[in-house]
Amino acid sequence: MKRFNAYQLKLFMAMLMVLDHLHHIPGFLPSGWMEVFHVITRCVAPFFAYMAVEGFIHTRNRLKYNGRLFLWAGIMFVGNFGLNYLLNEDSLTIYNNIFFTLAMGILALNIWCYKVKSTKLSPKMIMALRILIGVPVSIFACVAYEGSNSVVPFLFICYIFRNKIKMRNIAILILSVLLFIPSFQIYPSMETTIKALMFNSDWLLFTTIPFMYLYNGERGPKTKFSKYFFYVFYPAHLWILALIGYFTTVL
């Protein structure tokens, strides 16, 4: 089962990511395909959260790793703002920024895992400080940005149960059920009900589990290109799709 390294799996997820964002080109997808692509790509954001946890575990400097995520979140905020201002077209507005969600999730993990070296604080005081600081950060992370209400809890599950695969899978399934409950609403027709579930489909994050089993624990190529490719690819493909949509449908 464990056949692919992180780089190979992330390349596959990047291709799925493009499918999910083709709707940024108005009229490009036939009717109904946007919902289909949205459903089959619900594994993408959780998988990158899983990879972020792997990075958090194996990096030499967790704060530097966290800072890099915040840096790219900032780059994407600026890029999105500039592109949206230039295009000035509501249908082409780019709001995505999974970097910020991952950065906030890793920040919450950093707080929870921080080891206080001072002997003046008792274990209970240390735990109280973690709760006092960590809980608000975790809550803010869960409501902060794209996919955070599912991605951040998923991220914590992957870290807490990193050595207990069965428990991890059960926790992911429970999270999926908890996300499904508020997403399920009965509409006048079955078709509308299904389309609503396809649109509000964060509950499908359990589809990430098979890809987690394919991961062999290896990073893959250790080059600057492989290290930064996905940081660049994520915002670049969104901006390119928005520009294509602008030049093909607006001008």
Residues 6+ apart with CB under 8 A from 155: 49, 50, 52, 53, 102, 105, 106, 109
pLDDT band at 196 (very low <50, low <70, confident <90, very high): confident
- 201 vs 138 pLDDT, higher one: 201
> pTM of the full predicted structure?
0.88
Q: Where are the domains of the chain?
A: 6-250
What's the token pair of residue 130? Answer: 């973690």
pLDDT band at 209 (very low <50, low <70, confident <90, very high): very high
- 26 vs 120 pLDDT, higher one: 26
Question: In angstroms, rounded to a whole number, what is the distance separating the alpha carbons of residues 33 and 157?
Answer: 31
Question: In angstroms, rounded to a whole number, what is the distance separating the alpha carbons of residues 64 and 101?
Answer: 17
Query: Does 245 have pLDDT greater than 60?
Result: yes
Average pLDDT over residues 124-131: 66
Q: What is the mean pLDDT of the chain?
A: 86
Query: Does 87 have pLDDT greater than 70?
Result: yes
* DSSP alpha helix (H) spans, the chain: 6-20, 33-40, 44-58, 62-87, 98-113, 123-144, 148-160, 165-183, 190-199, 209-214, 224-245
- 45 vs 1 pLDDT, higher one: 45
